[in-house]
Chain A
Amino acid sequence: MNLDSLTNEEQKILELVRTVMDPEVAVNVVDLGLIYEVHYQEERKRIHVVTTLSTRGCPLGDTIMRNIEVVIEDQYPGMDVDVELVWEPEWNPDMITEAGRAAIDG
């Protein structure tokens, strides 16, 4: 996971991804701890986001991933946006941020 050492551009991308909500809990995917890595590779014209889901077989998984892709593509036309789904490390509730916990019980 590289979220603690993001470049300015990667931080901007993360903020874009923060607008993507999990429709079931109405909390954004960053605060839910679903985003593991964000890579901005200018020379390769590629943005790579590594993400997971809170549970396998989540029926909203495809929609969430597509949503991440769309919000980035919208702001970075001409870049190749690759949203990769991984299951390791396995997501657990400890990955939810304080803001995410507050929003869940909002």
Chain B
Amino acid sequence: MIIVAVILFGINTLMSAAKTDRKNIENVFIITAVFWLLLTVILGIIMALNFAFYFISGSHLQLLKMHVHIGFVGWFLLLVIGVASKLMPMFLIVHKLPRKLLKYAYYLINAGLILLSVGYYYFPEIWFLALSGSLVIAGVILFLRFNYVAFNKRIRKKLDVGMKLSATAFILLAISLFLGTLSVLSPKFLGAYQTRIEIAYGVLIVFGFLTALVLGQTYKTLPFIIWLKKYQSKVGKIKVPLPMELYSDKLANYHYYTFVSGIIMLMIGILASEVIAIQISSGLLILTAALYNYNVFKIILHKEKK
């Protein structure tokens, strides 16, 4: 049923893509991401069945690594790149960007991911995985470079809280890449820090990059969805609030700082193995979640002006 659901989702996405007269790289990223999602789900189900019937020999851990990377890089990262490449220039008000960077990023990430997936199961040699991973990393660096150019050329110099969180997400992604590279290369000088860096890599991607992106993009999408629903038919007839007035900007900025401090403390806690730092970071991240939720409910429960 899960596979059928994903296939239906894929068909829906492809049909939407077919309707557009503009075939651009952003769309290609999104369509490719859907294919990787399908593969991720199929592989996940095969792994689950393998626990019961054991028909695939070899290390389950390698399959799991393949599954995680296909899911994260193939589905999530490609989807994020496709959507962000369209939205970030739109929100920053910037044109004429080096879109070739996105094309190169597309080829590098997909080539790297194919090699990485095959390598995890058939050829789990460090040099091969490092080479495959470096293709993915090179692609992501090109995407980050695209965003950096957009950021520098932007007309809108003052960033709102949604864009501040989104920009922070990409900085955290760059740091995650660095930690991920260290994890794969596992140089000897890391010693006891090797495991801590591996944990920091995984935690920073989920609690850092993904969370910052979700927090930031909430403020760039949810207020507009609610605003359109409540005020689309009233614009021009009565004075309507702006979408950004549907939430508390002050609280959003507070949770920007609690989030950034929380992530810094979390990294210190993991890398230095300091429980107190992790406990402080938990407090800061809980506070972030509470303030964020307050704003989300404030937006969702917004009562329209008559």
Chain A complexes with chain B: yes
A interface residue numbers (CB < 8 A to B): 20-21, 23-26, 54-60, 62-63, 66-71, 74, 91-93, 96, 101, 104-106
Q: A56-B22, A63-B228 are contacts. A104–B235 as well, Cβ < 8 Å?
A: no
| Supplied contacts A24-B224, A63-B232, A70-B237, 14 more A-B pairs, CB within 8 Å | A23-B243, A24-B243, A57-B86, A59-B224, A59-B228, A62-B232, A66-B232, A68-B236, A69-B236, A74-B236, A92-B96, A104-B157, A105-B156, A106-B158
B95 at the binding interface (Cβ < 8 Å)? yes
Contact partner, B242, options A23, A62, A63, A92, Cβ 8 Å = A23
Q: How far is the CB of A92 from chain B (nearest CB, A)?
A: 5
Inter-subunit contact B224/A70 (CB<8 Å): no
Q: Which residues of B232-255 have CB atoms within 8 Å of chain A's CB atoms?
A: 232, 235-237, 242-244
Inter-subunit contact B224/A60 (CB<8 Å): yes
Inter-subunit contact B236/A71 (CB<8 Å): yes
Inter-subunit contact B93/A25 (CB<8 Å): yes
A67 partner residues in chain B, CB cutoff 8 A: 235-236
CB nearest to B237 among chain A residues: A70
Q: How far is the CB of A68 from chain B (nearest CB, A)?
A: 8
Identify 24 residue pairs between A and B in the complex whose beta-carbon atoms are under 8 Å apart, listed by A's number: A23-B227, A23-B243, A24-B91, A24-B224, A25-B93, A54-B90, A54-B93, A57-B86, A62-B232, A63-B228, A66-B232, A66-B235, A66-B236, A68-B236, A70-B235, A70-B237, A71-B236, A93-B94, A93-B95, A93-B155, A96-B155, A104-B155, A104-B157, A105-B156
B244 partner residues in chain A, CB cutoff 8 A: 26
B interface residue numbers (CB < 8 A to A): 22, 86, 89-91, 93-96, 155-158, 224, 227-228, 232, 235-237, 242-244
CB nearest to A57 among chain B residues: B86
Inter-subunit contact A104/B156 (CB<8 Å): yes
CB nearest to B232 among chain A residues: A63
A68 partner residues in chain B, CB cutoff 8 A: 236
A70 partner residues in chain B, CB cutoff 8 A: 235-237
B224 partner residues in chain A, CB cutoff 8 A: 23-24, 59-60
B90 partner residues in chain A, CB cutoff 8 A: 54-55, 58
Q: How far is the CB of A34 from chain B (nearest CB, A)?
A: 12
CB nearest to A58 among chain B residues: B90
Inter-subunit contact A93/B157 (CB<8 Å): no
A63 partner residues in chain B, CB cutoff 8 A: 228, 232, 235
B22 partner residues in chain A, CB cutoff 8 A: 56
Q: How far is the CB of B82 from chain A (nearest CB, A)?
A: 13
* Bound CA–CA A69/B243 (angstroms): 21
* Bound CA–CA A60/B235 (angstroms): 12
Inter-subunit contact A93/B242 (CB<8 Å): no
* Bound CA–CA A68/B235 (angstroms): 9
* Bound CA–CA A103/B22 (angstroms): 32
What 9 A-B pairs are tightest by C-beta distance, nearest first? A70-B236, A67-B235, A67-B236, A71-B236, A93-B155, A55-B90, A92-B95, A105-B158, A105-B157
Q: How far is the CB of B207 from chain A (nearest CB, A)?
A: 29
* Bound CA–CA A44/B89 (angstroms): 41
CB nearest to A66 among chain B residues: B235
* Bound CA–CA A20/B94 (angstroms): 22
Q: How far is the CB of A24 from chain B (nearest CB, A)?
A: 7
B94 partner residues in chain A, CB cutoff 8 A: 93
* Bound CA–CA A6/B155 (angstroms): 28
A60 partner residues in chain B, CB cutoff 8 A: 224, 228
A96 partner residues in chain B, CB cutoff 8 A: 93, 155
Q: How far is the CB of B239 from chain A (nearest CB, A)?
A: 10
